[in-house]
Chain A
Amino acid sequence: MIANVEARMRGVLSWLAVPQFMEGRFIGLPVSRWLFAVRVWLAIHLALGVAFWIQLDGAESAGVIAAMLALQTRGQVVEKSICCFLGTVVGGVMSIVIVGLFAQTRDLYVLAYSAWLAVCVFAAGFLDGNRAYGAVVCGYTVSIVAVIHIDDPSSLFSEVINRCAAIAIGIASIVLVIDVLAGPDLGPAMLARIEGGLATARTFTENLLRAGPDGGTDAQTVRLMGAASNQHLFLNALPTEAVSGSAQAGAVRAVLAALVGEIRAARAFALAGAWTNRSDGSALDGLIRRRLAGEVEARREAAASAFAAARVGRPVAHAPRMPIYRSRENALRNALRAFLASTLTGYLFTLTGWSMTAFAWAMVGVIVCLSSNAPDPGAMTKGALIGLPAAVVLGGVTQFVLLGGVDAFPLLMLGTAPALLGALLVTSSPNPALTGAGLLTAVYTIVVMQPSNPQSYDAQSYLLLSILLILVALFSFVLVRVLLPTCDAQRRRWVLAAIRRDMDAALGGATRPRSADEDQLLDASRIATLASLKTDDASVRETDLRLALRMGDLARAARRIRRALERMEREDSGAESRMNGFADAVRAALGDADARRMRQLAGTLADASEPARLTLAADMAWAADLIDAPADAHVSGGTR
């Protein structure tokens, strides 16, 4: 068993008789959170030290970037770093284009900058995790490079180069520190989570197979599917963490697809036993149940095989991608909100005539971009309303009380430790609201202090910056709530509409460039999104989930039928093939959602000897059952 560096450190420190430090908790918090805070604090000061050493203009950006890239695991840090760097390069290029074209026309400058923010926010709406962050970086890089220096467009190119250099130094620092200090890896934790998920799903599906609809609830189904779907946030980081990461990520996606398939098949098996609305009686009933039970078994084997491959980092054949649900309507609203917020703020600050308002305008752009990347933009701006004033206070106390005029870099490091370690401990909280507020506090504490070589202690500059940052927090909070707010009821309608469109496309035969496993994962993503939306009426939520599960099941069955028909037509070639007429009749029945006709056609295959035709008959009969299913059909865990 390969020991890692932390285990060796633990061994050394235990020999030094301080085991209580490395295990359990320290001052009430887990040691892992302290280690995270110390790693990031060291990375921030390493970045600042290198930036000061090479006399980089805007050296504080290096420290800010090291703080922005603070994530728990190595893979996530490296992935976010890559997205951040690429976003900075694109943003830098767009800065040059916007300033080059519109520097002499104030109104067009404001509109062009706001439009670029909107484009980036719209693009981020279709990506997930750190990739969405990269799209957002494309936008706010223009804020930081072009807008803050709006009065000096001739220095733009050197600002872009300095910004890219600061980003590179920040990235190198955080990656170096996390590698040398053995930051936790994403892979082992993910495999442990998935192993636990496989065991939980196995118990759940066993109960459904044994006890029917009383063996589980739709809430449990949705929770398991959601847990599988949410792994997409981590999967993108696996290839950046290890050289075998790409193969491991593919194997994990195959596990998740098999897991979701097993859960859906087991739920379908439980429901099939409860529905007695078939005109054909027991022949098709038995066929359906054997088909679904066989699918559960096949999915379990696929999951186990893929998990074994994931453990050793072996690639699997035909590893699915992991499509996620993203709402075009939501992305468009976020983009429009960013455009309006930036435009209104720009004109408002221009009218005030205050100095340094370009900085405030840029920061509003940054906060609005970052909020659009969050699941709940309103909550993120609430975090900014807490984090930015906290950063102002912490920055002021650190600069004028703790440091009080010192100029030596080691003293700067020690002086910032209480504020930054405290903010980073809050960032490492499992509560997402605290994570956002803590990260903004850490980042803006560095912005407020404006570390430089030599360090400046200008109280007037600090006061002006503080007022502007508090205004930025207030503006962002109000603008995000007032301009095109999106409520969960709207999101719920959009998700259900997307599921219905997918079902209609499957019934109508529209081709999609996705495999069956990818369809499973996309459907799980939609269901997980729907389940995460809040509602005042729990019965509405349950009804929506039931409907979504049913439409997803019908879409899946329709696609399976169409794929089977295509396969059979290819195998049974011939102009006068009986299969052609049969296939056309099945497709017509699917397109019309004609359950009676589907059952009649399924009945003609029920006595076939070929397994493929029996499977097709079972799928057709199951699709007919789904079309005719009662509206309240669900697994109920013993309640009706």
Chain B
Amino acid sequence: MSQTFTELVVGGVLISPFVTYAAAALVLFLMLRPVLAWIGFERLFSAPPLALLSLYVVILAFLIVLL
């Protein structure tokens, strides 16, 4: 059974569901930032920006698969 994606409709303009997922992933990522700072997330990786980017992609992928 294929997953149905709900399109975002703003004033009659259809916006791709991916935009909704990306925005939601960004919100979740920002909420996670204090936790990441507390556990010292950046000290675990040699390239912290890439690690944070990868974490964002993982959150986005989870939202697309699970929702």
Contact = CB atoms under 8 A, between A and B. Distances in A.
A161 B50 contact: no
B47 A313 contact: no
B11 A3 contact: no
B50 A180 contact: yes
B49 A157 contact: no
Interface string A144-178: 00000000000001100100000000000000101
B50 A5 contact: yes
A243 B49 CA distance: 10
Nearest to B45: A2
Interface in B21-60: 33-34, 36-37, 40-43, 45-50, 52-53
A496 interface: no
Contact of B13 (A161, A180, A313): A161
A243 B50 contact: no
Contact of A243 (B10, B12, B52): B52
Given A157-B13, A176-B53, 10 more contacts: A2-B43, A2-B45, A5-B46, A74-B49, A182-B47, A242-B48, A243-B52, A244-B37, A244-B42, A313-B37
B52 to A, nearest CB: 7
25 contacts: A2-B43, A2-B45, A2-B46, A3-B46, A4-B46, A4-B47, A5-B47, A157-B12, A158-B13, A161-B15, A179-B49, A179-B52, A180-B50, A182-B47, A182-B49, A185-B49, A243-B33, A243-B34, A243-B36, A243-B37, A244-B37, A244-B42, A246-B37, A247-B37, A313-B42
Interface residues of A, number: 21
Nearest to B52: A243
Contacts of A8: 46
Interface range, B side: 20 to 34
B46 A243 contact: no
A161 B49 contact: no
Contacts of A244: 37, 40, 42
A180 B43 CA distance: 18
Contacts of B37: 243-244, 246-247, 313
Nearest to A178: B49
B51 to A, nearest CB: 10
A359 B33 CA distance: 42
A161 B49 CA distance: 29
Contact of B42 (A180, A243, A246): A243
A8 B40 CA distance: 23
A169 to B, nearest CB: 11
A4 B51 CA distance: 12
A319 to B, nearest CB: 15
Nearest to B43: A2
B7 to A, nearest CB: 13
Interface string A522-538: 00000000000000000
Nearest to A158: B13
Contacts of B47: 4-5, 182
Given A243-B41, A244-B37, A157 B46 contact: no
Nearest to B51: A179
Contacts of B34: 243
B41 A179 contact: no
A341 to B, nearest CB: 33
Interface string A1-29: 01111001000000000000000000000
A499 to B, nearest CB: 38
A179 B53 contact: yes
Given A157-B11, A161-B15, A242 B42 contact: yes
A52 to B, nearest CB: 16
A85 to B, nearest CB: 11
B10 A161 contact: yes
Contacts of B49: 74, 178-179, 182, 185
B44 to A, nearest CB: 9
A82 B66 CA distance: 28
List the 4 shortest-distance A-B pairs measured between CB atoms, nearest first.
A243-B37, A179-B49, A243-B36, A5-B47
A12 to B, nearest CB: 14
Contacts of A180: 50, 53
A223 to B, nearest CB: 34
A243 B45 CA distance: 13
Nearest to A245: B37
B30 to A, nearest CB: 10
Contacts of B11: 157
A507 to B, nearest CB: 43
Contacts of A2: 43, 45-46
Nearest to B40: A244
B48 to A, nearest CB: 7
Interface in A228-252: 242-244, 246-247
A580 B34 CA distance: 47
Most buried by A among B12, B34, B49: B49
A185 B49 CA distance: 10
B53 to A, nearest CB: 5
Contacts of B15: 161
Contacts of B50: 5, 179-180
B47 to A, nearest CB: 5
Interface in B1-18: 10-13, 15
A8 B37 CA distance: 25
A339 B50 CA distance: 44
A4 B34 CA distance: 23
Contacts of A185: 49
A66 B41 CA distance: 29
Contacts of A158: 13
Contacts of B43: 2
B4 to A, nearest CB: 21
B16 to A, nearest CB: 8
Contacts of B53: 176, 179-180
